[in-house]
Amino acid sequence: MIQAIKARWPDVLLQFEDFAQKNAMPLLNRYRNEICSFNDDIQGTAAVTVGTLIAASRGAGSQLSEQKIVFLGAGSAGCGIAEQIIAQIVREGLSEEEARQRVFMVDRFGLLTDGMPNLLPFQNKLVQKREQLQSWDTTSEALSLLDVVRNVKPNILIGVSGQPGLFTEEIIREMHKHCPRPIVMPLSNPTSRVEATPQNILSWTDGEALVATGSPFSPVTVKGKQYPIAQCNNSYIFPGIGLGVIASGASRVTDEMLMAASETLAQHSPLVNNGEGPVLPELKDIQTVSRAIAFAVGKVAQEQGVAVKTSAEALLQAISDNFWLPEYRNYRRTSI
């Protein structure tokens, strides 16, 4: 099918959507350098999450490279996010080895470590070495999420498990004990599967956590103060990436283009720009954000040689020319 699409529409932007976990990453890796293609579940989710984390880190007065990150859920989406985080940490100055030592993946069998049976190919580079965990305070062979939080003392906790309630009060309080302003992101959809509700997270941390969710939640009030909840939704990212690719005529979607999208999203954070408010801009501002992301993506595509070099003015005009509103025209009768 891919070959047929390529033959019929050689300049197509192909978006992979809702592929099974065992197929999603292999298909993306197989075709991303053959045809202009993009997996929103992996790359879109990763880009919006990294953009959110860049903004949240800056809002807390630090950089992403200074954080320690724990994931609950190590499927293709979670590992895709982790790899994009590692790329951003390297971009901020750490080596790849140092970056990987700051990311911890937990699945239903516990922390991913070397020597575990039945690891999937995309999980292999995200394991921690058992020999480096000898000093951990635990008596369990399978290292649970609580074990990991207690010993790693993370700044960031991300949930992509699809299982509700796994960010327990004990886990969140343990995290808050070592991190005055934890970043907690229960990203599982729908709301019935969220790892913890924003209300609970903020109550357990006395309102000091920065929270972003995968599902929409209303603002939360703790001790008389209202906290807006950012929704870490792919809709912040993929329209701008698609628009940037089409407007620039890019032949590929590169990792650097995705990182440019993440950085641009972070630059539009009310928390970063105003010192308060939600981590992400309101969805009503999505057109402004998408235009900015499209320009950043198109510019990087030109710099990398996967799009023809033009002036900034020409790229902006191409973005405007490809921007449209989903509106019906006024009815006009043409015959009697």
Q: Which two tokens stand for residue 268?
A: 């539009």
pLDDT of residue 336: 65
1-41+234-322 carries CATH number 3.60.70.12: no
Query: Is residue 29 predicted with pLDDT exceeding 70?
Result: yes
Q: Which CATH class is domain 42-231?
A: alpha beta
Mean pLDDT of 137-157: 91
CA distances from 32 to 91, 200, 237, 251, 312 (A): 22, 40, 18, 10, 26
**Residue 41 assigned to a binding site:** yes
Print burial letters for 290-315: b (CB count within 10 Å at least 16), e (below 16).
Answer: bbbbbbbbbbbbbeeebbeebeeeeb
Which element (helix H / strand E) includes 84?
A: helix 76-91
**Residue 273 assigned to a binding site:** no
**Residue 39 assigned to a binding site:** no
Q: Which residue has the higher pLDDT, 166 or 28?
A: 166
**Residue 18 assigned to a binding site:** yes
Residue 239 pLDDT class (50, 70, 90 cuts): very high
For the chain, the domains span: 1-41+234-322, 42-231
Mean pLDDT of 137-155: 91
Q: Which residue has the tokens 């509106």?
A: 327
Residue 324: exposure state from Cβ atoms within 10 A (0-12, 13-18, ≥19)? exposed
Domains 1-41+234-322 and 42-231 share a fold: yes
Segment 196-226, tens digit of pLDDT? 999 999 999 999 999 999 999 999 999 999 9
**Residue 206 assigned to a binding site:** no
Percent of the chain with pLDDT over 90: 71
Contact partners, residue 300, CB within 8 Å, separation at least 6: 254, 256, 257, 260
